[in-house]
Chains A and B, each alone.
Chain A
Amino acid sequence: MNFRAINVIYRKEMARFFRTIIESLISPVISTSLYFVVFGAAIGSKIEQVNGVTYGAFIVPGLIMLTVITQSVSNASFAINFPKFTGTIYELLTAPVSYMEIVIGYVGAAATKSILIGLVILATAFAFVDLPIAHPVAMLALLALTSASFSLFGFIIGIWAKDFQQLQLIPLLVLTPLIFLGGSFYSVDMLPGVWRTIALFNPVVYLMSVFRWSFFDTADVPIAVSLLAIAAFTGLCLAAVWWIFRTGWRIRQ
């Protein structure tokens, strides 16, 4: 393993994040606060409780997931797409680094950023609502796992995208609907029969369910099923990355 290479990639990416730390953190905090005002206060006053939790508290895990997933994908996809755009990817290709090392460096940095953002949102949430955290260790582990697997997914999109338009496409067309329909702001139990069945094909549902469980100790779908779904998604992304580097798809001519 070329640990020094992993180290310099990771540090360079984190330095980029800290150079723009204000922008990086302030926008999630502001948008989260807005969600609290709109959903928590305005709508929340109409909805009493969901599964025995106030609506304001109920949406916190959803908000964290929403931001962590979108940030992971956009950070990781940009991080690898930009070198392709500027041509500096030549350096990665000519260095004695394996694809695993490149992935660990880039995905690790993107995931770290997402975890930090997730924690900042959590801290913001405490300012608005009373929030129980039933399983704190599991909560942190799920936060890290989600950040890592969606950063991996973002990395793939960054390699696939030929320009910045395409880079925006997947998040806009696929990710946002999946997240919003994935039970970020409601429980899938609230959906009528057919829709509930359809929702179960949405991978985000499983993620949301188990993440919410780590806060409130109740889940829409069994924990084991959720974990299995997350593992499958991560496995799929890993397989895709392995294939990309083996064939040189969109990287090596």
Chain B
Amino acid sequence: MPSIVSIRNLTKTYSTGFQALKSVNLEIEEGEILALLGPNGAGKTTMISAICGIVQPTSGQILVGGHDVVRDFRATRSQIGLVPQEISLEPFEKVFNTVTFSRGLFGKSPDPEYVEKILRQLSLWDKKDNNIQSLSGGMKRRVLIAKALAHQPRVLFLDEPTAGVDVELRKDMWSVVSDLKAQGVTIILTTHYIEEAEAIADRVGVINKGEILLVQNKAELMAQMGRKQLHVDLAEPITAIPEALASYALELGSDGRSLIYTYDTKRERTGITNFLGDLRSAGLQMTDLATRQSSLEDIFVGMVREKP
């Protein structure tokens, strides 16, 4: 698949002298949903801002749809929609007007039906004549999304779209995102909620201290890096792990009624067959078995922590 966004050796040093991005390379494929994960201050917003035109790159190049974002800014920006991290709206504007304004700013002819459609989709239609200052925080965030969608972008950046948003709105947003994906829109979102990345992303990028640590297909990432755990429920409680099983690095459940065997799915042999065999030889009876895959969160926390 062709790259819709292509970032090459992007460096950003702020006027304070702080280097927020250190030679970042990233290819974003058309039509995918990419989730960017990273702790506070990792450089997520800086990277998005550089692509969208808010921040001037110090060095490197960014192409959107094959056009340079600095030299050919009209071509790139007209394809991009941005939902910023901070809620930035004019307090005295009306919802409908501000969305219409966004569309005009991007040079598109007025289209009240389209504006109505997105306002309805975001459950904002009954607020269309309200002043923005009279809306709740979650509604304001929806207005930001409506504004970003007003010009029908090909690439949508969502900078922490679900920060401080209730469960219902988060679900709404996910459904908007999957609708957009179905229409072929490329979506890049940053988030601190791993479940979010897990739920909707095709690929996951991890960024820390201005560097991209990895970008990988979500399923692959989890399969590759994920460890699995086998929980074995025992018929009779035990007080210690039997000698015969010492080589397996088992954990004993708190009530002594379960054993937890951790294995790596990356390995050719997981050792499960041997383990279960040895379990029987040790004279332990099991009542149930369950496996659990480690989540993106486990992986993510592990990665960010490993780096000094």
Contact = CB atoms under 8 A, between A and B. Distances in A.
Contacts of B108: 4
Nearest to A1: B107
Nearest to B76: A96
Contacts, number: 76
B54 A94 contact: yes
B94 to A, nearest CB: 10
Given A4-B104, A86-B88, A87-B86, A96 B74 contact: yes
B56 A97 contact: no
Given A253-B15, A253-B56, A94 B80 contact: yes
Contact of B73 (A15, A16, A96): A96
From A87, A95, A97, name the one whose CB has the most chain B CB atoms within 10 angstroms. Answer: A95
A248 interface: yes
Interface in A71-96: 82-83, 86-88, 90-96
Contact of B78 (A7, A92, A96): A96
B91 A86 contact: yes
A214 to B, nearest CB: 37
A12 B56 CA distance: 28
Helix, strand, loop or mixed for chain B's interface?
Answer: loop
Interface residues of B, number: 34
A87 B109 CA distance: 25
A9 interface: yes
Contacts of B55: 252-253
Nearest to B54: A93
B89 A86 contact: yes
B88 A9 contact: no
Given A90-B82, A90-B84, A253-B15, A97 B90 contact: no
A5 interface: yes
A2 interface: yes
B14 interface: yes
A225 interface: no
A236 interface: no
A2 B56 contact: no
A2 B74 contact: yes
From B15, B52, B101, B104, name the one whose CB has the most chain A CB atoms within 10 angstroms. Answer: B104
A133 interface: no
From B53, B84, B86, name the one whose CB has the most chain A CB atoms within 10 angstroms. Answer: B53
Contacts of B100: 8
B74 A90 contact: no
Contacts of B75: 96
B82 A12 contact: no
Interface of A: 2, 4-5, 7-9, 12, 15-16, 19, 82-83, 86-88, 90-98, 248, 252-253
Given A90-B54, A252-B55, A253-B55, A96 B82 contact: no
Nearest to B93: A12
30 contacts: A2-B74, A4-B107, A4-B109, A5-B105, A5-B106, A5-B107, A8-B101, A16-B92, A82-B90, A83-B90, A86-B91, A87-B88, A88-B89, A90-B54, A90-B82, A90-B88, A91-B105, A92-B105, A93-B52, A93-B53, A94-B54, A94-B77, A95-B77, A95-B105, A95-B106, A96-B106, A97-B105, A98-B74, A252-B53, A253-B54
B147 interface: yes
B147 A91 contact: yes
Interface in B46-85: 49, 52-56, 73-75, 77-78, 80, 82, 84
A13 B93 CA distance: 11
Contact of B53 (A5, A86, A94): A94
Nearest to A97: B105
A49 B108 CA distance: 58
B217 to A, nearest CB: 29
Contact of B84 (A15, A16, A87, A92): A87
A92 B102 CA distance: 9
A9 B105 contact: yes
B273 to A, nearest CB: 57
Contacts of A92: 105
Contacts of B102: 91
A87 B84 CA distance: 10
A237 to B, nearest CB: 24
A96 B107 contact: yes
A93 B78 CA distance: 12
From A8, A15, A97, A248, name the one whose CB has the most chain B CB atoms within 10 angstroms. Answer: A8
B103 to A, nearest CB: 8
Contacts of A252: 53-56
B82 A94 contact: yes
Contacts of A5: 104-107
